[in-house]
Amino acid sequence: MNWNWVWVILILFWTGGFAWAADNVRTALRHRHERRMELISAERRERQALEAAGKPPEPVCGCTHHLAKHDKQGRCHERVEVPVAWDENKKPVRYEAGQCNCQQYVGPQPLSQVYAEELTDL
Ligand SMILES: [Zn+2]
Ligand SMILES: [Zn+2]
């Protein structure tokens, strides 16, 4: 056995091993980079959602009618179609003109709205 051959084989193993290790490191780094890009885009999406939430809310009541349709007592004066007959699938088939019986909600603000207002100060 010629010792030179042993060295050649050892060096081949080493360099091969190094290349393999370097490849692994590169893959790991790329994965981390991808993960980072994911995080950045997630952050951006979150910011867009916050910006959307920060927009002044439409002056629309929970009954979907404009707040201007409500009187000072909060009663909605919008005319609505009230179903008076239903088919066997509980789908309304006949409507009659009626008045929206909404009593505009005047209690404490919903939490999400409070948050939105705080965020717009930033
Ligand atoms: Zn209303
Ligand atoms: Zn209404």
Digit-coded pLDDT (tens) for 15-71: 888 888 888 889 999 998 898 889 989 999 888 888 777 777 678 888 889 888 999
Same domain, 64 and 36: no
Clarify whether residues 75 and 43 are in a common domain: no
**Long-range contacts (CB closer than 8 Å, 24 or more residues apart) made by 103-109:** 103/73, 103/74, 103/75, 103/76, 104/61, 104/62, 104/63, 104/67, 104/70, 104/74, 104/75, 104/76, 105/61, 105/62, 105/74, 106/74
Ligand nearest to the CA of 74: 1
Q: Do 93 and 122 have their domain in common? A: yes
Same domain, 78 and 36: no
| Predicted local distance difference test score (pLDDT) of residue 57 | 66
Are both 87 and 49 inside the same structural domain? no
21 and 46, same structural domain? yes
- Final residue of a domain: which of 40, 55, 70? 55
Please tell me whether residue 50 adopts helix, strand or coil conformation: helix
108 — phi, psi (to 5°)? -60, 150
> Same structural domain for residues 101 and 121?
yes
Same domain, 71 and 44: no
CA of 81 to the centre of ligand 1 (A): 15
Domain around 18: 1-55
Look at 116 and 39; give whichever has higher pLDDT: 39
Residues, Cβ < 5 Å to ion ligand 2:
63, 65, 76, 78, 100, 102
In the reported structure, the alpha carbon of residue 90 is separated from the centroid of ligand 1 by a whole-number distance in angstroms of 25
- State residue 115's pLDDT score: 55
Residue 39 shares a structural domain with residue 64: no
How many domains are there within the chain? 2
8, 39: one domain: yes
The domain boundary, picked from 10, 40, 55, lies at 55
Cα of 84 vs centre of ligand 2, distance in Å, is: 18
